[in-house]
Amino acid sequence: MSVRLIASAADRRLLDESRRTRSMTWIMAIMLFLTVLAAALGLATLRGAGLLDRQLAGRLTVQIVEPDAVKRDAEAARALDAVRAMPEVAKAVPVDRAELSRLLGPWLGADGADPDLPIPAMIDVDLGQGTDAAVAHVSAVARAVAPTVRVDRQEAWMSPVARFMDTLVLFAGGLVLLMAAATGAVVILAARAGLETHRSTIDVLHMLGSTDVQVARLFQRRIAIDTLIGGVLGTICAVGAVLFAGLQLSLLGSDMLNGLALEQRDWIALALLPVLFALLATIAARASVLSALRKTL
C-alpha cells in the first residue's frame, strides 16, 4: 500500500477546493488530546504500582502490644535482637516513640505524646526476599521471644490501593482502545461523506481510466495528513497538560505521588500515538473507500 503524505497541488484542488482548515484536523486533535491524557494516566499509574510493589515487597512491621511499658520495652529489645540475627532479615530498625506520637497526632492530638498512653513498640523489618516462608519464619522467631508480638506485612495494608491502581490502568487502556475505535468510525464517516461530495469528480476520473485504488489513495492521503496534523496538535496540548500535572504533583512532596512520573520510554510511546492513529486512519479510509466504490459498480 503506497501512501504519500505530501499531496500534490492537483490532489489538493481535487479534494479540498475551499483550501480551508478541514474539520477533520480539529476532530483528530481532540481525539488525540484525550487519548494521550488517558495513555499518560495509565502509564503513570503503572509506574506508580510498580514502585509501590518494590517498596512494600518484603517489608514487615513487628508490633509489641504489651500494655506494661517495662515489659513492652524488654520484649521489644529481645524481638529486635532475635530478628536482626536472622539470615532472612536485611535490616531491622526500631521505630522511635516520638515518631509514633507524631504520626498519631492528627487523631489523638496532644494526647499522642502522653508517656502513659500504651502505644505499641514497633520494629520496621526489611527482608532479603519477601517470600511467605521468610515471613512465617520471622513471625515464629519474634513470637518465641516476645509473646505479645504481632507481625504485619505492609504489602497487605496497601493491597486495596494496589488493586485500585491496577483497575485504573485497565480503565486507561480501555479508554485508549475506545478512542482508537472512535477514530476509525470518524474516518469511515468522513471518507463516505467525501465520496458523496466528490461523486461527479470520481466518475470523471473513472472515465479517464483511474482505478478504484488510485481514487482511494487520494482520500487516504488527505485523511492521513489531517489525522497526523491534528494528532500532533492534540498531543502537544496533552503533553503540556501532563507536564503541568506532574509539576503540581512534585510540589506535594509525596514519595508515592512522585513515583507516578513518566519515564523516557513512556514519553516515546506517547509521541508515537499520532503516527499510529494516522496509520489507523489511513487503513480505515482505504478500506471504506474501496468498499464503497465496489458497491457502486
> What tens digit of pLDDT does each residue of 202-238 get?
777 777 776 777 777 778 888 888 889 999 999 999 9
207 and 279 co-located in one domain: yes
Q: Mention every residue, 6+ apart, whose C-beta is less than 8 A from residue 182.
A: 31
- One domain, residues 28 and 85: no
pTM (two decimals): 0.70
CA 69 to chain centroid, in Å, comes to 47
pLDDT of residue 33: 94
Residues 24 and 138 placed together within one structural domain of the fold: no
Confidence category of residue 1, pLDDT binned at 50, 70, 90: very low
59 in a domain, yes or no?
no
Strands 121-127 and 59-64, by their bridges, are antiparallel
What's the whole-number mean pLDDT along residues 271-289?
Answer: 89
Higher pLDDT, 120 or 254: 120
Q: Using alpha carbons only, what angle is made at residue 27 by residues 26 and 30, rounded to the nearest 5 degrees?
A: 85
Q: Is residue 133 part of a domain?
A: yes
48 and 70 inside one domain: no
Q: Are residues 282 and 170 in the same domain?
A: yes
Does 171 lie in the same domain as 105? no
From 114, 147, 180, the end of a domain falls on: 147
6 pLDDT more than 80: no
Of the two residues 249 and 272, the one the predictor is more confident about is: 272
pLDDT (0 to 100) of residue 115: 59
More confident residue, 181 or 96: 181
Mean pLDDT (the chain) is: 78
The pLDDT value recorded for residue 17 is 45
If asked whether residues 81 and 27 sit together in one domain, one would say: no
Q: Is the pLDDT of residue 24 over 70?
A: yes
Domain-embedded: residue 60: no
- Over 80: is that where the pLDDT of 108 sits? no
In a domain, 223, yes or no: yes
Which amino acid appears at position 186 of this protein? V
* pLDDT reading at 177 higher than 90: yes
d(C-alpha 287, C-alpha 216), whole Å: 8
The mean per-residue pLDDT over the stretch 10-29 comes to 62
Is residue 247 very low, low, confident or very high in pLDDT (cuts 50, 70, 90)? confident
155 in a domain, yes or no? no
What is the layout of strands, in order, in the sheet containing 89-94?
89-94, 121-127, 59-64, 149-153
Listed range (113-127, 252-266, 274-288) with the worst mean pLDDT: 252-266
Q: For residues 192 and 226, state if they share a domain.
A: yes
Mean per-residue pLDDT for 175-192? 88
**Residue at a domain's end among 147, 169, 201:** 147
105 or 197: which leads in pLDDT: 197
What's the pLDDT band for 20 if we cut at 50, 70, 90? very low
Q: Would residue 58 count as lying in a domain?
A: no
98 has pLDDT over 90: no
Instruction: Give yes or no: residues 17 and 120 share one domain.
Output: no
Residue 33 lies in a domain: yes
Please report the pLDDT score of residue 244 as a whole number. Answer: 87
In total, how many domains does the chain have?
A: 2
Choose one of 147, 182, 216: the last residue of a domain: 147
Asked if the structure places residue 152 within a domain, the reply is: no
At residue 249, the pLDDT reads: 72
173 and 33 in one domain?
yes
Whether residue 31 is found in the same domain as residue 171? yes
Q: Give percent of the chain above pLDDT 70.
A: 78
* 44 and 101 both lie in a single domain: no
- pLDDT at residue 169 is higher than 50: yes
- Tell me how many helices (H) and strands (E) the chain has: 11, 4
Expressed as residue numbers, the domain containing 92 is 66-147
Q: What is the pLDDT of residue 208?
A: 74
Mapping DSSP to helix (H, G, I), strand (E, B) and coil, where does residue 126 land? strand
**Residue 140: pLDDT over 70:** yes
